Amino acid sequence: MTDTQDHAAGQVANAAGWIEPKPTALLVLADGTVIEGFGLGAHGEAAGEVCFNTAMTGYEEILTDPSYAGQIITFTFPHIGNVGANDEDIETVNMAAAAGVRGVVLKADITDPSNYRSTTHLDAWLKRRGIVGLSGIDTRALTALIRDKGMPNAMIAHSPDGVFDVPALKAKAAALHSMDGLDLVPGVTSSQRYGWSETPWVWNEGYGEAGEARHHVVALDYGVKRNILRLLVDAGCKVTVMPADAKAEDVLALKPDGVFLSNGPGDPAATGDYAVPVIQAVLERKIPTFGICLGHQMLGLAVGAKTKKMHQGHHGANHPVKDLDTGKVEITSMNHGFAVDEATLPANARATHVSLFDGSNAGIALTDRPAFSVQYHPEASPGPMDSHYLFGRFVAMMDEAKKG
């Protein structure tokens, strides 16, 4: 018997006299709804906004994406954990406990891993990272609830003895602050400047090291994923990562050929209080700029657009996006609960991409500055690689700026 099946530790009889395992975990929603399950991962409780992710693969990359800080993920795919976990697929650079997802909700128990790259059972991996989880619930029903009512705040709790203070959990869930107005970037950003030289993973070779660089890129870290940095290096860039609260003069002192605005969690308007003035200083000097996810929203805010909270957000590795310039459709990875309000874009910003799921903005480009951004994750990890070309577009923009 594994730890993921600790629901067998206690048993109760139902009305018909059948013996049933005693629940060892709860998901308590802000409206007072209590969903019983069986505990896995860390013991204790955690708070967060519940969202659903439709990806069928790449759960370790998802669970270590800093953009999920402050959230609880329910996977719509039922079999999570069957390939185990390892140290190569982690996406967060900041290894602090707050730098990722708070909890995880699964349909089925975690099975023993069956993959040659696995080094540990997912349950042990979750425990080590302090992530509270539960399994054995109807994740389709939970997903339908989110689609109907939006992403709820909740408490997730795991107690092997099945004893919970339910009224206290309900009170905590009801008192949780909405994601609106929350700046979660300080919990995921780096604390100091550093250089990045690792290149993308190659089958049976692992990760490589940077060769000769053509351009120097400063990456502003709002919760950056490792594979973004790897692809920048692979595209021929020397990468210097700077904390989210870096001052404009410190960024400009490095004389970068380009500036990258990373992904990250929370309400972009809250992060924009200190991030937008830095981006505006970069744009004023016409330094090529590329943003992804939260970085896309930051670029929008920097030119005067507004952002808005989404009903259910976009989380998954199967989101179709149309490139309005070429007419081509890309299948993309997405992870965001806020979006740029396209109706508020100024005259010098044009929409370049659109989500084919709901028509929300998925990309912008400035007409008077060498700057562009996308709402989705072209670096994948996990997900399709349809959008890797955007890193080449950024490099071409820096090439052109140097010629000019």
Instruction: Indicate if 379 belongs to the active site.
Output: yes
- Amino acid 373 reads S
Which of 227, 200, 218, 213 minimizes the C-alpha distance to 93?
227
Is residue 346 within 8 Å of 290, Cβ to Cβ?
no
Instruction: Indicate if 293 belongs to the active site.
Output: yes
Tokens 């990890």 belong to 381
The DSSP call for residue 360 is -
Q: Give the number of other Cβ atoms within 10 Å of residue 56's Cβ.
A: 16
E strand segments, 99-149: 103-105, 132-135
Is residue 248 within 8 Å of 277, Cβ to Cβ?
yes
Which of 171, 51, 164, 36 minimizes the C-alpha distance to 101?
51
Catalytic residue among 293, 315, 319, 342: 293
**How far apart (Å, rounded) are the C-alpha atoms in residues 180 and 194?**
31
**Cis check: omega of the bond before 382, within 30 degrees of 0:** yes
At 115, phi and psi to the nearest 5? -165, 140
Q: Sheet containing 306-323: which strands, arranged edge to edge?
A: 194-196, 237-243, 215-221, 258-261, 289-292, 371-374, 361-366, 349-355, 306-323, 329-341
Alpha-carbon dihedral sign for residues 288, 251, 275, 217:
positive
Catalytic residue among 60, 61, 342, 379: 379
Which of 333, 323, 257 minimizes the C-alpha distance to 290?
257
Instruction: Indicate if 377 belongs to the active site.
Output: yes
E strand segments, 228-283: 237-243, 258-261
Question: Which sequence positions are flagged as catalytic?
Answer: 293, 377, 379
